[in-house]
Amino acid sequence: MSRPRKRLAGTSGSGNGCDAQRLFAIPGGVLKNRNPLVTDKGLSGKRTKTENSGEALAEVEDSNPQKTSATKNCVKNLSSHWLMKSEPESRLEKGVDVKFSIEDLKAQPKQTTCWDGVRNYQARNFLRAMKLGEEAFFYHSNCKEPGIAGLMKIVKEAYPDHTQFEKSNPHYDPSSKEDNPKWSMVDVQFVRMMKRFIPLAELKSYHQAHKATGGPLKNMTLFSRQRLSIQPLTQEEFDFVLSLEEKEPS
């Protein structure tokens, strides 16, 4: 049951029931630990059950589990930029179309949506590390042309993903209890389209080249952890991807 990619609850494009209050719920105390230990361990390339299953982490939470579980062990300064995957083409999952493209995001009220359906502990921990105002690339996956389509920003920090409790939802998780939710989501708002679509293939060719030259994309998570649906980018990675907008497609 790993479902790292965003799925809209119910029909895509329609209101999803979590837009109403979010823009006005501005959490205080924004400047806390920025990075989870999992992040650090994760990036080191180790892979163990404990690290990936986040269950241990879930136990180590303080009074604000949705936001702080991942930040218990702070490393430092790893990331305030993100990449989030979503499928822009129709695909049925338990009879529900999980399509959600950047155009769909633009069409939402306030161009904002809750990023529900993430069912992978590592991805969830990254969601919980996200801070208000941070920027994320909207990545189109599992489609004709995978790649980075645009930019969005975090407008509400992690809170419980209501779809985990909805039996009819494709991402229903019977093992999660209302008084101790397992899964989190954030709200994101459309910022802009990329000036041009940045295809995965192009990113990959830079990644390959940079592995040899030590360039900015040499360790990009998109390639080192190909299945992770929510991933951090370093400042250098983020800036480099943005710089590609100005270049000719390669």
Partner DNA sequence: GCCAACGTTGGC
Q: Does 106 bind DNA (CB under 7 A)?
A: no
Could you say which of 82, 115, 121, 238 contacts DNA (CB under 7 A)?
A: 121
With contacts defined by CB under 7 A, name the span among 9-17, 49-57, 70-78, 212-220 that binds DNA. 49-57
Element (H, E) at 78: none
Could you say which of 73, 196, 225, 242 contacts DNA (CB under 7 A)?
A: 225
Footprint of DNA on residues 193-212 (CB under 7 A)? 200-201, 204
Q: How many residues bind DNA (CB under 7 A)?
A: 27
Taking the C-alpha atoms of residue 5 and residue 141, their distance in angstroms, rounded to an integer, is 9
Q: Does 94 bind DNA (CB under 7 A)?
A: no
Residue 149, token pair as written in the block: 């389509």
Could you say which of 32, 47, 192, 195 contacts DNA (CB under 7 A)?
A: 47
Footprint of DNA on residues 55-84 (CB under 7 A)? none
Q: Does 21 bind DNA (CB under 7 A)?
A: no
With contacts defined by CB under 7 A, name the span among 8-16, 33-41, 183-191, 225-233 that binds DNA. 225-233
Query: How many other C-beta atoms are found inside a 10 Å radius of the C-beta of residue 133?
Result: 11
Could you say which of 24, 31, 49, 179 contacts DNA (CB under 7 A)?
A: 49
Which phi and psi angles does 131 have, rounded to 5°?
-115, 150
If phi > 0 it is left, if psi is from -120 to 50 it is alpha, else beta; for residue 13 that is: left
Could you say which of 120, 125, 163, 221 contacts DNA (CB under 7 A)?
A: 120
Taking the C-alpha atoms of residue 83 and residue 138, their distance in angstroms, rounded to an integer, is 6
If phi > 0 it is left, if psi is from -120 to 50 it is alpha, else beta; for residue 174 that is: alpha
Taking the C-alpha atoms of residue 43 and residue 39, their distance in angstroms, rounded to an integer, is 6
Given a contact cutoff of 8 angstroms between Cβ atoms, the answer to whether 184 and 176 are in contact is no
Footprint of DNA on residues 157-196 (CB under 7 A)? none
Edge to edge, the sheet with strand 230-233 lists 112-114, 184-199, 147-160, 135-140, 81-86, 230-233
* Residue 32 three-state SS: coil
For the chain, what is the total number of helices (H) and then of strands (E)?
A: 9, 8
Q: Does 44 bind DNA (CB under 7 A)?
A: no
Q: Tell me whether residue 2 or residue 14 sits nearer to DNA (CB atom).
A: 2
Q: Does 52 bind DNA (CB under 7 A)?
A: yes
Taking the C-alpha atoms of residue 133 and residue 157, their distance in angstroms, rounded to an integer, is 9
Q: Does 26 bind DNA (CB under 7 A)?
A: no
Q: How far is the CB of 175 from DNA (least distance, A)?
A: 7
Q: Does 1 bind DNA (CB under 7 A)?
A: yes
Question: Interface with DNA by CB under 7 A: which residues?
Answer: 1-5, 47, 49, 52-53, 85, 119-122, 141-143, 146, 200-201, 204, 224-229
